[in-house]
Amino acid sequence: MLGVNESAYDPAKHTIISNASCTTNALAPAAKVLNDSFGVERLMATAIHAYTATQALVDRATKKPRRGRAAAVSLIPTTTGAAVATTRVLPELTGKMDAIAIRAPIPDGSVVDIAAELKRETTTDAVNAAMKQAADGKMKGYLAYTDDPLVSADIIGDPHSGVIDGRSTGVVDGRMARVLVWYDNEYGYAKRMVDIASYMASRE
């Protein structure tokens, strides 16, 4: 995953790879920054995700009853593979994290809410500083940071995997951190697909 573990790519071995999901591309970079900077004891993530083509306009029968409810009129809790996929690129978090998604009645623009228990004490300012340093440094182009008062419509068309909402970062009792990451689940993810293909070609 670009910004997380692309250095592990070996063209001689990796003939087929996965770019994971839009939510994983937003979650994993922020989780990596938290783990590298403060150590992650446990992490829970909730993705508030725009509805997708797998959902229905009106209620219908499906294998997953909630997923069959009308997409444009309800908040719909559902499963996500983002936690498992994140541990594939960050194996050090295996067994330490879980995630859920809530499909929202909007066509595009999503956010993942990360709650992490940290190993080392920190502050809100220190968490934001770590995110900003990563966004300006090794994760530039993939992770971004802003203090602007964003809403979901503002993220549409943003090319980053995720944008840290600095205003929403919080720390309780030194070791419980909250981080919000906005992402365009359509354009931002499509941009990563192009980027990963270009990266693979450059390594041939």
Q: pLDDT value at position 41?
A: 98
Domain that holds residue 18: 6-202
Residue 152 lies in a domain: yes
The residue assigned the tokens 């909402």 is 165
Query: Does residue 10 fall inside a structural domain?
Result: yes
pLDDT in tens, the chain (204 residues): 999 999 899 999 998 999 999 999 999 999 999 999 999 999 999 999 999 998 999 999 998 889 899 999 999 999 999 999 999 999 999 999 999 999 999 999 999 999 999 999 999 999 999 999 999 999 999 999 999 999 999 999 999 999 999 999 999 999 999 999 999 999 999 999 999 999 999 988
pLDDT, tens digit (0-9, with 9 covering 90-100), for 4-42: 999 899 999 998 999 999 999 999 999 999 999 999 999
Q: Which of 110, 96, 137 is nearest to 49 (CA)?
A: 110
- Cα pseudo-dihedral 120, 126, 127, 131, rounded to 10: -130
Check which CATH number belongs to the domain holding 88 and give it. Answer: 3.30.360.10
Indicate the pTM of the whole model: 0.95
Q: Which residues pair with residue 112 across a beta bridge?
A: 47, 181
pLDDT at 44: 98
Nearest to 129, CA basis, from 38, 1, 27, 46: 38
Nearest-angstrom CA–CA distance, 109 and 123: 28
In this structure, is residue 19 part of a structural domain?
A: yes
Active-site annotation, residues: 22
Q: Determine the pLDDT at residue 64.
A: 87
Q: Are 42 and 48 in contact (CB under 8 A)?
A: no
With a CB cutoff of 8 Å and minimum separation 6, the contacts of 185 are 22, 23, 49, 50, 52, 108, 109, 110
Structural domain tally of the chain? 1
- Indicate whether 117 belongs to any domain: yes
Whether 46 maps to a domain, the answer reads yes
In a domain, 150, yes or no: yes
Does residue 1 form part of some domain? Answer: no
Q: Is residue 90 part of a domain?
A: yes
